[in-house]
Amino acid sequence: MRIPIFTAASLALAVLPCLAVPSYYVSRDNGCEHQVKESITPPHGWTKYAAAPPYHTITLRIALSQPHFSTLEQHLAEISDPDHPRYGAHLSAEEVDALAAPHSDSIRLVDEWLAGHGLKDSDIARSSSKDSLSFTVPVKLAEQMLDTEYNVWRHDDDEYILRTTRYSLPAKLHAHIELVQPTTIFARWKGLKSHLFYEDVEVQTKTLASPLMNVNNFNVVGGGILPAGRVDPNCNYTITLNCLRQMYNIEYTPQAIDQQRIGITGYLEQFANIEDLQSFYKMQRPDALGSDFEYFSVAGGINNQSIEAAGTEANLDVQYAFGLAHPIPGVYWSTAGRPPFQADIATVRNTNEPYQEWLDYMSSFPNPPAVISTSYGDAEQTVPRSYAVNVCRGFAKLTARGVSLIFASGDGGVGDGNPDPETQKCISNDGRNATRFSPLFPATCPYVTAVGGTNSYPEVAVYFSGGGFSNYFPRPAYQSQAVNQFLGKLGNTYQGLYNRFGRAIPDVAAQGRHYAIHSRGKWASIGGTSAAAPVFAAVISLINDARLAQGKSVLGFLNPALYKSAIPGLNDITEGNNPGCGTNGFSATDGWDPVTGLGTPDFLKLKDIYTNMP
């Protein structure tokens, strides 16, 4: 994409009052017809720091209205319902693009508006369905286009971003534009990793000092499928691939390995290190030694292979997803940029929101992996509703193509993603400043499968497992019966602290503590729902393989079949809770609960269920 050149003189003319400039300099909206499109109160923890540097460039992304999205939703409902004749008949990329395309009037009017501000077609990048477009302009021009004022905002954790709390659009464009970002989004998209979950010194010391952690003895931990479903007791202190095989009955040799792939997304300069992966394979999966993954760069993303740059989140994700699913091929995407804006103007950083960037890239990505796991998110209320809805629609487009999207549910219990209950900010962002449970997005999107956490064996809910109810998305029909049963038992407990009509998370769970990973040249113990998500993704990838070997389709959007047919293939977790916001949180119980969802996978049972579906 070419960045248009704007001189100081042309920018000065552009921001003068519309009646004071010659007509050929005035944008087509005249700068006088704007109406507020979106206005927010900045989330807690953010304060205005400084005015935005006027000539710093910013990449604006515009989402256009999608008049046929309800039709796409209907297709998705049919192809993901195991009782529907169309089950598994996933849509092609072209079919999805046709259903996601904006009206031609929307494209024309927005293009005219952009041209009026000096942007040429060659300056604009468009998604394959033309429902999203992006371009790079100086902040000064962005402010004039949106009738707003950008500022540098500082978070209590000493992070900086470039944002505004209100922006406007010409009145004639309101029906055609869903949102413009980055403007009002204050999410930090934290990796849901577990450097904080070396949970306590005693457990950490016991785990890391144990002879079982010595690389020479490492492969004896969880030595394989044990008789009668037994699990090696050492797995209570150290989770390995073999521990997961034992706990979840993963006894299967892939047969259709050339027919699908499993993917991991990487953000915030998290790099998946190949040297660490080989060291991990040497001790935990020797038959995978020498195998690699396919790497794709999104928006200039890199995958720095310096051992010092290895990311614990990225290493955790690829080692367990690809290790469990081997030899099914793996894919890793690195999306460039991170939200924090450096106060030093000479070293400013990208202010993009990574999910829109990645989704635009994926809209034209051929043959996407059948399963994709993501371990990033932030408190839902830090994300404008318009942004959450638009990104969620992007996920729906991918699932309609037959992709199972797996997201970690969060590491803050019922809180805001902060794993320390003492410092959680569970204050509503609606002007009331009331205490409110705070689920994480994108896990709350109804088109993804959210994964919570457990620990120990027999399994109990891990205390930090993110769970609760969305304040943005209504509860989808596929989970109504299971969730209503839980709410009936909950009664009036926590009334007013959560939205009892919202999309409920998590959907499922997996182990979330004491994972042994190899990172930056040494072994470490780590945990979080970011560990549970790639494990569940690997289980689904292996089930896909069994279906493909029978000539059937991959599973695609999982949730309708999970809640309708797959419950007998899940281990119901009935102990534990997820404290936060000054409460004990929700409790695990019989059936679905907002700590462990429907439960953890029993691979052999799930494989039988899914391979007997059409």
State the number of CA atoms in the 13 A half-sphere of 351 facing the CB.
32
Q: What phi, psi does 81 have (nearest 5°)?
A: -95, 115
Does residue 313 carry a catalytic annotation?
yes
Q: How far is CA 88 from CA 77, 549, 553, 554, 557, in A?
A: 11, 15, 6, 7, 9
The separation between the first and the last C-alpha atoms of the chain, rounded to the nearest angstrom, is 44
Residue 523: both structure tokens together: 């072994």
Q: Which residues pair with 449 in a beta bridge?
A: 406
Q: Considering only CA atoms, which of 250, 248, 221 is closest in space to residue 234? A: 221
Is 90:614 a contact under the CB 8 Å cutoff?
no
Does residue 317 carry a catalytic annotation?
yes
Q: Reduced to 3 states, what is the DSSP secondary structure of residue 145?
A: helix
What is the amino acid identity at position 554?
Answer: V
- Which letter does DSSP use for residue 592 in this model? -
Binding-site residues: 572-573, 591, 593
d(CA 519, CA 508): 27
Q: Which of 29, 178, 317, 411 does the annotation list as catalytic?
A: 317
E strand residue ranges, 389-486: 404-408, 440-441, 449-455, 460-461, 468-474
Is 51:345 a contact under the CB 8 Å cutoff?
no
What is the amino acid identity at position 206?
Answer: K
Residue 71: both structure tokens together: 């039709």
- Which letter does DSSP use for residue 467 in this model? -
Q: Which of 97, 123, 178, 313 does the annotation list as catalytic?
A: 313
Binding-site residues for Ca(2+): 572-573, 591, 593
Q: Which of 363, 465, 519, 530 does the annotation list as catalytic?
A: 530
Non-local (6+) Cβ contacts of 344 within 8 A are: none
Is 153:187 a contact under the CB 8 Å cutoff?
no
Does residue 530 carry a catalytic annotation?
yes
Non-local (6+) Cβ contacts of 253 within 8 A are: none
Is 366:328 a contact under the CB 8 Å cutoff?
no
Catalytically annotated residues: 313, 317, 530
